């Protein structure tokens, strides 16, 4: 069993995609182990995306991520990290496979509806960024 962090980004919340995103996870073997809605400020978004701080898109990305509420979730399942990334599709929706969340709902490489951890170490950091142990269901 593996855990990963998923975010429905501000564009996904604004467009009304929360239900479709969660339902896609639930229909594809991922269980929600924690979930809440948050509105990050600029500093919180910068902390979350600290690995990207040298990238040219860092300022714009963190403006966008602090532009409205997000839904953050811990997903649990076998190969949850890879499975979530498969369901999301490529970062740029233009390259995302048909049926993936980004192909269905994303409008640009920045406003791409969902985020998912890319490796076990990032998943541990990202889950810990938003949730403490008491907020994650342990069955
Ligand atoms: P995400 O999976 O959340 O991880 C980093 C984010 O940076 C990525 O999704 C995109 O939203 C954003 N991103 C990646 N590449 C670019 C780019 N070239 N221009 C703007 N945003 C980008």
pLDDT of residue 45: 98
pLDDT of residue 78: 97
pLDDT tens string, the chain, 139 residues long: the values are 999 999 999 999 999 999 999 999 999 999 999 999 999 999 999 999 999 999 999 999 999 999 999 999 999 999 999 999 999 999 999 999 999 999 999 999 999 999 999 999 999 999 999 999 999 998 6
| Catalytically annotated residues | 115
3-state secondary structure of 81: helix
Separation of CA 130 and ligand 1 centre (Å): 20
CA distances from 18 to 2, 24, 25, 96 (A): 22, 10, 11, 19
Separation of CA 134 and ligand 1 centre (Å): 30
For ligand 1, mutation pick of 61, 71, 90, 126 (most atoms within 8 Å of CB) = 61
CA 23/CA 87 separation, integer angstroms? 11
Spatial neighbors of 119 by CB under 8 A, at least 6 apart, are: 81
CA 19/CA 29 separation, integer angstroms? 16
């Amino acid at each position: 069993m593996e855990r990963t962090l998923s975010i429905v980004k501000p564009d996904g919340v604004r467009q009304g995609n929360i239900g479709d995103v969660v339902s896609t996870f639930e229909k594809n073997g991922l269980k929600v182990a924690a979930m809440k809605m948050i509105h990050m400020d600029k500093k919180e978004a910068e902390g979350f995306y600290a690995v990207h701080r040298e990238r040219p898109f860092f300022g714009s990305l963190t403006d966008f991520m602090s532009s409205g509420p997000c839904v953050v979730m811990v997903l649990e399942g076998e190969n949850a990290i890879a499975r979530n990334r498969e369901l999301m599709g490529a970062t740029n929706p233009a390259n995302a496979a048909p049926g993936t969340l980004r192909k269905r709902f994303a409008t640009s490489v920045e406003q791409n509806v969902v985020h998912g951890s890319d490796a076990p170490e990032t998943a541990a950091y990202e889950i810990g960024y938003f949730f403490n142990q008491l907020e994650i269901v342990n069955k």
